[in-house]
Structure 1
Amino acid sequence: MPLFNVYPLYDVTPVSGKGVYVYDEKGTEYLDLYGGHAVISIGHAHPKYVEAVTSQVSKLGFYSNAIQNPLQKELADKIEVLSGCKDYELFLCNSGAEANENALKLASFKTGKSRVLAFSNGFHGRTSAAVAATDNKNIIAPINAQQAVTILPLNDIEGVKKELEKGDVCAVIVEFIQGVGGLDEGSAEFFEAVDALCKVNNTMFIADEVQSGYGRSGKFFAFQHYNVTPNIISIAKGMGNGFPIGGILIHPDIEAKFGMLGTTFGGNHLACAAGLSVLNVIEEQKLIDNVNTMSEYFIKIAETIPQIKKIKGRGLMLGLEFDFEVGDLRKKLIYNHHIFTGGAANKKLLRILPPLTVKKEHITMFFEALIETLTEVETTVA
């Protein structure tokens, strides 16, 4: 049976990984500066992660949410300590799209309203309401387009005010650093004004931290760079270091009721073990400190390269913008230098999303390869 052909694939077949490297079936080593869409947070096959998952699966990998699972409470408590998000409650699911879907559903339950405000170039997932709030008509089917969503430009505070005052908006959902869209950010004044407007218009403010959370921005959550208090925070990618897990943190002003949300696989024993090991490693290895140190080193070098027109993002959620499309550049980095990087909706942007364990030597290796490749491109054009 053929696979449904929806992914354009590079001709690389990773079969194993260790730290910031993956290896193909021939043993070729690749430097992974993309982490499978920012999923690999503590490095491939981290020994503490492997130990935790192996130990848990040998005992009990799964049972339903109809029974007690102390690992869920342990995970919730650990998130509270490391994130500093006191008094929030945790609902666990399996992915970022599910997290945002449940966030939007909760917002609608809480407010009794149904319209959503989202922003240009935002990406929130591929399921029903989440994809409707995503600024990409190519992935919104007619069944999704039934959702009531208004998309506004970032920093358009007057537009937000006008829409919220209509009284039918249940949620404003925002990536504080856009991922797929190309690492654009709103201003501090904009985010803080949106938060204030939501609070006076009975609208839930949702922080989509699916990609930017878990230390990637240099703080545990990207919204913590600003003076805002989201009603709901969605998390996923780096949460399980490759094991499917997602969730939402829910402010205590939203009251839980039996049956309100539900999931078969969300918060299973194996997922919780994976999630706990990630948090333990982030804490023990002081990885958020490493994010900030490596980010500073990366940006310092990037600023010396004239072909780079703009450096975008924060922490280890970074983008390098050029005055040409980077598709061929990415291919040369993969095939000639064995380095994985990422693209974005902005075709001129190279995305860098390495494991949070990345070191200076890896960043140096990347820039050496980048400079060599840029020189080759310029020579070819000339």
Structure 2
Amino acid sequence: MSLFNVYPLFDITPVKANDVYVYDENGTQYLDLYGGHAVISIGHSHPTYVKKLTNQLSNIGFYSNSIQNPLQQELANKLTTLSNCESYELFLCNSGAEANENAIKLASFHTGKHKIVAFKNSFHGRTSAAVAATDNAKIVAPVNAQQAVEFIEYGDVASLHDVLAKGDVCAVITEIIQGVGGLDEATTEFYKTVTTLCNTYGSLFIADEVQSGFGRTGDFFAFQKHGIEPDIISMAKGMGNGFPVGGILIHPKIKASFGLLGTTFGGNHLACTAALSVLETIEKENLLDNVKEVSSYFINKVQQISEIRNIKGRGLMLGLEFDFPIAELRKDLIFNHHIFTGSSKNPNLLRILPSLTVKKEHVDVFINALIKALELQKV
């Protein structure tokens, strides 16, 4: 049986990984500045992570949500402490797409409305409503297109007001920093206006923190820089350091009832242990401070490279924009310099999403390789 061929693959086969490095079957070492789409938050094979998951697996790895699982409450408590989202309640699932799907569904239940407002260049997942709210027609099947979604320009307050004033919008969903779309972020004034308009017209504000959450920007959540309080916060990716786990934080004005949401695997013992390991490591190793320090160093270094036209994003969620497509540059970095980086919907943008444990010396390795690779682009 062959695999369903939906992924364009680089001819690299990782067999081992440690912190910011990945090793292939030939023993070649790669500096991982992409973390598998921003998933690796505390470094590959972190000893705390490995130990806690191993211990948990030796006891119980899974049972359904029909029984007590104290690890879920422990995770909720720890998450409250580190994120300062004290008034929210937690629902656990398995991925970012599921988190956004549940967020949208919950907003529709709460408001009794059916339309979603999303923004151009958004990416929220590949499930039914989440993919309909994603600005990429190629991945929206006809069955998904039945969802009522209106896309507006990111930051366009006038259009947002006009749409919400019609009274049929259950939710406005946005990444605070767009990931796949190209690292754009709106102004604090815009996010505050979204909050006001949602309150005025009876819609919910969903902050998609799937990629930006769990410390990637230097704040625990990216929205916190703007002093807002979303109604629902979705999270995944770095939450489990590679273990499939996601969730939503839900404002107390949204009331729970039995059967309103549900999941088979979400919040299982291993998933909770993985997320708790991540939170413990972020706290003990002061990784939010490390994000800010290394980010500042990185930005200062790349500002000295004339070919870079723009630096986008925050923390360790960064994009380097050139005036040419970066596809060949990215291949050069992978195959000749053994460095993983990422791409985006913007063909000229190189994405940098390393583990939060990355150090300045790793930045130096990347900068030297980038300068050499850019010299080849001129030839």
TM-score (norm. length: structure 2)? 1.00
| Residue of structure 2 equivalent to 1:65 | 65
Query: Is 2:308 the partner of 1:273?
Result: no
Counterpart residue identity of residue 4, structure 1: F
Deviations 1:83-110 (A, max 9, x none): 0001100000000000000000000000
Letter in 2 for 1:301: K
Aligned to 1:371: 371
Deviations 1:317-371 (A, max 9, x none): 0000000000000100000000000000001000000000000000000000000
Q: Within 1, Cα distance between the matches of 2:172 and 2:55? A: 41
- For the residue of structure 2 that corresponds to 1:26, the secondary structure is coil
CA–CA distance in 1 between the matches of 2:182 and 2:6?
22
- Cα distance between partner residues in 2 of 1:201 and 1:302: 44
Partner of 1:135: 135
Aligned to 2:360: 360
Matched, 1:107 2:97: no
Q: How does 1:232-311 map to 2 (within 5 A)?
A: 232-311=232-311
Residue 266 (structure 1) shift = 0.1
> CA shift at 1:254, angstroms?
0.2
- Render the CA deviation track for 1:293-337: whole Å, top value 9, x for unaligned: 000000001110000000000000000000000000010000000
Q: Which amino acid aligns with 2:160?
A: V
Local SS of the residue matching 2:373: helix
| Alpha-carbon separation, structure 2, partners of 1:85 and 1:299 | 29
1:1-382 equivalence runs, <5 A: 1-379=1-379
Spell out, residue by residue over 1:239-261, the C-alpha distance to the aligned partner (whole angstroms, 9 max, x if none).
00000000000000000000000
CA distance in 2: counterparts of 1:235 and 1:304, whole angstroms: 34
Residues in 2 aligned to 1:267 and 1:371: alpha-carbon distance in whole angstroms: 44
SS in 2 for 1:99: helix
User: How far does the alpha carbon of each residue in 1:253-273 deviate from its partner, in whole angstroms, 9 at most, with x for none?
Assistant: 000000000000000001001
* Paired letter, 2:117: L
Counterparts of 1:136 and 1:35 in 2: how far apart (Å)?
23
Aligned-partner SS, 2:104 = helix
Deviations 1:93-142 (A, max 9, x none): 00000000000000000000000000010000000000000000000000
TM superposition shift of 1:227? 2.1
In structure 2, how many angstroms separate the alpha carbons of the residues matched to 1:59 and 1:171?
41
Q: CA deviation at 1:292?
A: 0.3
In 2, Cα distance between equivalents of 1:347 and 1:269: 40
Amino acid at match of 1:18: N
Q: 1:89 is aligned with what amino acid?
A: E
Distance across 2 between alignment mates of 1:34 and 1:196: 36
User: Structure 1: how far apart are the matches of 2:25 and 2:266?
Assistant: 33
CA distance in 2, matches of 1:157, 1:204: 16
Quick one: which amino acid aligns to residue 256 of structure 1?
Answer: A
TM-score (norm 1): 0.99
Q: What number of residue pairs does the alignment pair up? A: 379
Task: Give a deviation string over 1:182-208, Cα, whole Å, max 9, x none.
Answer: 001111111111111101111000000
CA distance in 1, matches of 2:319, 2:114: 34
Q: Deviations over 1:210-252 (max 9, x none)?
A: 0000010110000001021100000000000000000000000
CA–CA separation in structure 2 for the residues paired with 1:81 and 1:179: 26
Which residue identity does 1:10 align to in structure 2? F
**Distance between the aligned counterparts of 2:227 and 2:61, measured in 1?**
40
1:20-76 Cα shifts (integer Å, max 9, x gaps)? 000000110000000000000000000000001000011000000000000000001
CA distance in 2, matches of 1:282, 1:150: 37
SS in 2 for 1:346: coil
Uncovered stretches (5+) of structure 2, i.e. residues with no partner: none
- Secondary structure, in 3 states, of the residue corresponding to 1:104? helix
How far apart in 1 are the matches of 2:144 and 2:349? 28
Runs of 4+ in 1 over 3 A off after TM superposition: none
Structure 1's unaligned 5+ residue stretches are: none
